[in-house]
């Protein structure tokens, strides 16, 4: 047999590495085909945390995340480049300081806004502290009316800070954005969550909340406030939610709620879906009355006087079974 007719023998294949497990395959998880798994993860992972940390329900604070507190004592606030960003806005957009000789009208306007926002920061901080001190005294086996924010700076930080100063648990539901950001340091570490999908973050804002406090803010605050008001207006939520809009002058300068009713865009009774407040004490009274009437008085079952355990709650499988054996890796 000639050399030309001899069949060439293929070289031996190189050894293969073990294929990644499907849930460890980052290329798949991050792909369009893995989208449903990512969405499900942003439902089940927060749910597991809330169960483990014995969270029953929340009070959500919304408000501006563009001002960062530099020195609350002297009402010094720094304007951030974007909502929740760690990067400051350009110097020409920053509030004017007392030692600046020449300032633009924009900087003078921002200085006035910074003083106003510093007051709102302290009000949110004080209200969150008052709410947490009250809710921590409520009997039960789970934490009630836990202060929750978007997890960033500004009003969000103030809310988490007030709850932290009162010694309570506090939740931060952050969102991954295309610029550098950091959660504020006052969030309970086990309740520091980060979301990719806005709609999953909104789900957890809406479906644990028994009350909403809306401080002055921008597009994000408008979006979150009107979404919750729409859910309440359409009776889509199977619960009553107390809504406090803080800073009546700010909001009434921006939105003519009465005109919406006068023009027939909303019903006159829709104006009863929220109340205005201008002091932490006033807001606290509204929240306490609403939460007590809607979610404490006549509450189903007997509320135990035992303290809430410090240990993490067992998982659903540990409580409900079945006793599925773990597998070895």
Q: What is the pLDDT along the chain (329 residues), one digit of tens a residue?
A: 555 556 678 888 888 988 889 999 999 999 999 999 999 999 999 999 999 999 999 999 999 887 665 444 444 556 555 555 566 666 655 555 555 545 566 555 656 666 777 889 999 999 999 999 999 999 888 999 999 999 998 999 999 999 999 999 999 999 988 765 689 999 999 999 999 999 999 999 998 999 999 999 999 999 999 999 999 999 888 889 999 999 999 999 999 999 999 999 999 999 999 999 999 999 999 999 999 999 997 654 445 567 787 777 777 666 655 545 455 55
Q: What sign does the dihedral 218-224-194-122 (CA atoms) show?
A: positive
Cα–Cα dist 206/99, whole Å: 45
Q: Are strands 146-149 and 170-175 parallel, antiparallel or unpaired?
A: parallel
Q: Catalogue all structural domains in the chain, each as residue range(s) with its CATH number.
A: 55-66+111-299 (3.40.50.450)
């Amino acid at each position: 047999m000639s050399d030309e007719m001899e069949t060439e023998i293929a070289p031996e294949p190189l050894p293969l590495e073990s294929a990644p497990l499907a849930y460890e395959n980052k290329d798949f998880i991050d792909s369009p085909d893995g989208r449903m798994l990512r969405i499900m993860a942003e439902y089940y992972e927060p749910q597991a945390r809330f169960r483990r940390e014995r969270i029953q329900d929340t009070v959500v604070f919304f408000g501006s995340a563009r001002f960062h507190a530099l020195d609350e004592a002297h009402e010094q606030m720094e304007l951030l480049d974007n909502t929740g960003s760690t990067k400051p806005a350009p110097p020409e957009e920053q509030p004017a300081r007392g030692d600046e000789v020449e300032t633009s009208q924009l900087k003078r306007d921002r200085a006035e806004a910074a003083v106003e926002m510093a007051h709102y920061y302290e009000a949110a901080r004080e209200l969150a502290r008052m709410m947490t001190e009250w809710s921590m005294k409520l009997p039960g086996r789970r934490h009630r009316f836990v202060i929750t924010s978007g997890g960033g700076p500004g009003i969000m930080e103030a809310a988490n800070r007030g709850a932290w100063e009162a010694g309570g648990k506090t939740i931060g539901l952050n969102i991954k954005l295309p610029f550098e950001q950091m959660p504020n340091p006052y969030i309970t570490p086990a309740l520091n969550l980060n979301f990719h999908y806005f709609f999953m973050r909104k789900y957890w804002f809406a479906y644990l909340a028994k009350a909403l406090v809306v401080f002055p803010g921008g597009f994000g605050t408008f979006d979150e406030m009107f979404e919750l008001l729409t859910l309440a207006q359409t009776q889509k939520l199977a619960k009553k939610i107390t809504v406090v809009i803080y800073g009546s002058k700010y909001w009434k300068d921006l939105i003519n709620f009465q005109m919406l009713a006068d023009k027939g865009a909303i019903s006159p009774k829709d104006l009863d879906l929220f109340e205005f407040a201008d002091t932490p004490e006033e807001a606290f009274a509204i929240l306490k009355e609403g939460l007590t009437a809607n979610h404490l008085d006549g509450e189903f079952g007997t509320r135990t006087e035992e303290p809430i355990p410090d240990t993490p709650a067992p998982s659903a499988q540990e409580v409900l079974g079945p006793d599925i054996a773990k597998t070895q890796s």
